[in-house]
Amino acid sequence: MNRRAFLLSASAAAQTAQPFPMGYNTYCLRALRWTDAQHLDFAAAQKLDAIFLQDSLDPKAQDPAHWKEVRERAKELGLHLESGGAGMLPKSLDQFDEAVATLRKNIVRAQALGSPIVRGVIASDRASLPKGVTPEAHLETILKLLKAVRTQLLDAGMKVAIEVHKDFNAWEFRELVTAAAPDATGIYLDTGNPVFMMEDPVTTVEELGRYAVTLHLRDSVVYETKRGIAVQWVPLGEGVIDFPRILERARELCPRVHVFIKPITGRPPVILPIYDTGFWKDYQRTRAQDLARFLKLAREGRPYEGHVVIEDLQNQPVPPHFAEAVKYQQREHMERSIAYGKQKLGLGRRWRSG
């Protein structure tokens, strides 16, 4: 038995004794354009414990009356619900007050939905950070933003959950949370984004686990190419991410989180051109030991060998004849990943009762 198989077996055994509650992230099924009610029913049909409503496409998503309906329906189905907003970083300092107002509205909505957290993202990736300002300065802006809403969060008994995205390293997020005060700020741990920052997700969990308020699992293939390192998201269990180790560390560092299945697939491999000296101007604070661990992961990796419909056609609309295939793929990859979470990782509680 190799190490990965052994850890899978050990993880399943440990989780059977005291499994993490499991849910799914609704963004992964965006092509289906389901209402919130349809997502809730799908989670219940899959015998999940939770649901993460992310970037809702429901026509009533911003209607306060709808929030109450969703909260009551989730309670009726016995589902723990988490939610929140999106980008927090203002594009310029003169938009700071607007950013505060948006975050305040997201807190109100998340609380009304029954979520104990409000998700927030700093930026989609490092390249999307507003130019002319250092990454450190952007973190200072976010720190100021978090402090501006701290009292509202404490009064609501909630935390901002900053998603680990493709914008900063784990140690930078750690410094941000500790500076903002962990009583109102936590981390949305995502295992899919760190590879874009040349970071092994195990490193991310070890750095940020103690601050995590939610954990989302996404698998990736990571491998060497002539131009650098290629990364691509794939269904859970079909990449190189060490989920048994991640869950082992999560049980030590954040044992009370809900774990969400989050396979975002159908996107082409992205090349990180690490041999191009110009590439590093945006990553000057990357730690050598973290890069070394990531390169080891890449050296052990390989291209994805499964069949996949590529939906992300360089920001072009999905052709009509692709649409149904993308819908099918997103649901099938989700169901496959949920099955992996149950059968191989020992996640979830409700499904065990039959």
Q: Evaluate if residue 298 carries a pLDDT over 80.
A: yes
Q: What is the mean pLDDT of the chain?
A: 94
Q: Which domains does the chain show, CATH number per domain?
A: 3-349 (3.20.20.150)
pLDDT at 15: 43
* Residue 278's pLDDT band (cuts 50, 70, 90): very high
Q: Evaluate if residue 26 carries a pLDDT over 50.
A: yes
pLDDT in tens, 133-179: 899 999 999 999 999 999 999 999 999 999 999 999 999 999 999 99
- State the virtual CA torsion across 65, 185, 137, 202 in degrees, nearest 10: -110
Average pLDDT for 293-306: 96
Per the CB < 8 A criterion, the answer to whether 47 and 351 are in contact is yes
pLDDT at 314: 63
Tell me, what DSSP letter sits at residue 166? B
pLDDT in tens, 85-123: 999 999 998 999 999 999 999 999 999 999 999 999 999
Residue 149's contacts (CB-CB under 8 Å, 6 or more residues apart) are 100, 103, 104, 107, 160, 184
Which token pair is 353?
């009762």
Residue 110's contacts (CB-CB under 8 Å, 6 or more residues apart) are 83, 84, 85, 117, 118, 119, 158
pLDDT at 313: 67
